[in-house]
Amino acid sequence: MSNLLSTYAHFTMLMRTGMMNVIISVFAYTLLFYINSWITTELVFGLGVNWIYLPAGLRLFLTLIFGLPGAIGIAIASTLISYYGELSSDLAICIGTGLISGFAPYLARIFVFSNVKLESDLSNLNLQKLLLCIVIYALMSAGLHQYWYATVGLENTGSVNHFAVMAIGDVMGSILLIALIKSGLDLMRRFRRIDRKSVV
């Protein structure tokens, strides 16, 4: 009986953590999407394609850290953004786009974990492995998105140029976002050192 209760408690805790990670992913992705749309208006190449796409880095980050809950959260956010935005009023198209947005980085995560000897806690994630993750994800995401757009007949999508620019935008956005996160963390460390010195 005690084992059953312990298993139930563990399952409940995992469910709560998973739900929290989904919610965090939905809000974080939605917020960064609209920030990116605001600051990179002049860099739009076509429908759903941008020369610098910061949310691409967040997609990868959320799926690397949270796994499946991160992918689900991104998929939900992307579906809603697509449906209420400029992509299409067809819900099926938006759901397909959301699934690709969430699960392309998750598939890249599975590929990298299987083939690059990446630890589940990311303890051995170095710059080389991170760049490989970014490139694999960007190619997979751009390919699936443009194939889907062409399949459902969205205008001005699906060309080699759209694929190339989308892949470049995802790579550039990922690198830039990671650089911003690293700079922020470095700045926080500096402030902590200053605080410690002032206390001493």
Residue from 132, 101, 91 nearest 32 by CA: 101
pTM: 0.81
> What class, spelled out in words, does domain 2-199 have in CATH?
mainly alpha
Q: Which strand (E) or helix (H) includes residue 177?
A: helix 160-199
Q: Per-residue pLDDT averaged across 173-197, rounded?
A: 75
Q: Do the bridges between strand 44-46 and strand 49-50 make them parallel or antiparallel, or are there none, so unpaired? A: antiparallel
Structural tokens at position 42: 């002049």
CA distance 51 to 114: 30
> Tell me: the pLDDT tens digits for 71-110?
999 999 999 999 888 777 788 989 999 999 999 989 888 8
Q: What's the one-letter identity of residue 108?
A: A
User: Taking the domains of the chain in order of start, what are their residue ranges?
Assistant: 2-199
